Amino acid sequence: MFEGYSLAELGSIFAMQGFAGLILFSVFVLMALGLAIIFGQMGVINMAHGEFMILGAYVTYLCSTLVSQHAPALFPVYFFVAMILAFIASGLLGMLVEWGMIRFLYKRPLDTLLATWGLSLILQQIFRSVFGAREVGVVLPDWLMGSVAVTDTIEVPINGLFVMALTMAITVVIYVVMFRSRWGQGVRAVMQNRTMAGAVGINTEKVDRYTFGLGCGIAGVAGSAFTMVGSTGPTSGQLYIVDTFLVVVFGGAQSLLGTIASAFAISQAQSTMEFFLSGSTAKVLTLLTVIVILMLRPQGLFVLKVRR
């Protein structure tokens, strides 16, 4: 497929392809971070993760509509406000769900799967009733559209760079919160040994609620960011859920580093194969590889060493 191209042309295509892989990596990390906290740290299988993302996307849609109607001058920066509001909306809903449903099911992990799946159906139908069955178009500020020309032939999409920067920022924040703060220490203590954590005076119920809320909030931010690259409709959340679980499970459920490593591996494999093979074949091969590796290493790529 490369006959008739100059070296320079090929070089720039591969450079752009490298960026395509990095962007896919950022997207995967962003969608998996929230789930890594909820599934990895709390052990809750949250099938409604995609719907929390779409809630964030709809908040962004509302913001874009309101701002363009009432304060067009602020339009270029509305996206940042929208992401914060998306975090708050999804986070609050997450805490509500934890309080109303999840906390009764901590001892029955498989039931959370069914319950959250039901929740995802309910949320989808609510989105459909409120926003209509059709997809909505989120208008983006001009500076987020288009691409940067690095050289004459290499062009990099701006929204891709934005997602990369956002992913890095959120990853750093999560790392600091989970591993460098007192609160994060509490979360990890509760997850490792709930009874003992309670005995030393940690309010485990409160920790659970905020952890779940944090995970859902991050899902909301991810959903908000994905309005730049994907669709916003009642069932759009379903598009992400499989890849999200794949990344988290493959990485080793309890390790944030594992999530990042697995997102990197899967995204690079997929984007490289997509380039050389066809889209569907690439997906099949990626899934097959993941299955084989999980058969050899059921616990995932990285495992926390915990004394049981």
Partner 1 sequence: MSSDKTSGGLRSPFRRKLLLGMAALPALTLLPRGAIAQALATDAVNTTKLAVTDSTVKVGILHSTTGTMAISETGSVQAEKLAIAQINEMGGVLGRKIEVIQEDGASDWPTFAEKARKLLVEDKVAAVFGCWTSASRKAVLPVFEQYNGMLYYPTFYEGLEQSKNVIYTGQEATQQILAGLDWVSKEKSAKSFFLIGSDYIWPRTSNKIARKHIEKNGQKVVGEEYFPLGHTQFNSVINKIKLTKPDVIYASVVGGSNVAFYKQLKAAGINLEKQTLMTISVTEDELLGIGGENIAGAYACMKYFQSLKNPNNEKFVAAFKKMWGGESVIGDVTQAGYLGPWLWKLTVEKAQSFDIDKIAVASEGIEFKEAPEGYVRVHANHHLWSKTRVGRARMDGQFDMVYETADLIEPDPFPKGYQ
- Nearer to partner 1 by Cβ, of 69 and 280: the residue is 280
The residues near 106 (Cβ < 8 Å, ≥ 6 apart) are 43, 44, 112, 208
Tell me how far, at minimum, the Cβ of 25 lies from partner 1, in Å: 11
Residue placing its CB nearer to partner 1 in the complex, 95 or 163: 163
Contact residues for partner 1 (CB under 8 A)?
Answer: 1, 5, 9, 13, 16-17, 19-21, 23-24, 27, 125, 128, 133-139, 145-147, 149, 155, 157-160, 226, 228-236, 238-240, 270-272, 274-275, 278-280, 283
CA count, 13 A, side-chain hemisphere, 209? 13
> Smallest distance from the beta carbon of 94 to partner 1, in angstroms?
23
Classify residue 128 by burial, with Cβ atoms within 10 Å: 0-12, 13-18, 19+. Answer: middle
Q: Which two tokens stand for residue 259?
A: 């999530």
Q: Which is nearer to partner 1, 121 or 199 (CB)?
A: 121
DSSP type of residue 141: P
Give the shortest CB-227-to-partner 1 separation in angstroms.
Answer: 9
Q: Least distance to partner 1 from the beta carbon of 57, Å?
A: 11
Question: Among residues 23 and 93, whose Cβ is nearest to partner 1?
Answer: 23
Judged by beta carbon, residue 160 or residue 220, the one nearer partner 1 is 160
Q: Which C-beta is closer to partner 1: that of 198 or that of 230?
A: 230
Query: How many Cβ atoms from other residues are within 10 Å of residue 69's Cβ?
Result: 8
Cα–Cα distances in Å, from 119 out to 212, 237, 249, 261? Answer: 15, 13, 22, 30
Distance of closest approach, residue 85 Cβ to partner 1, in angstroms: 21
How far are the Cα atoms of 87, 101, 186, 202 from residue 95, in angstroms, in the given order?
12, 10, 18, 18
Chain position carrying tokens 């949250």: 46
Distance CA 219, CA 80 (A): 15
Closest approach, Cβ 191 to partner 1, in A, equals 31
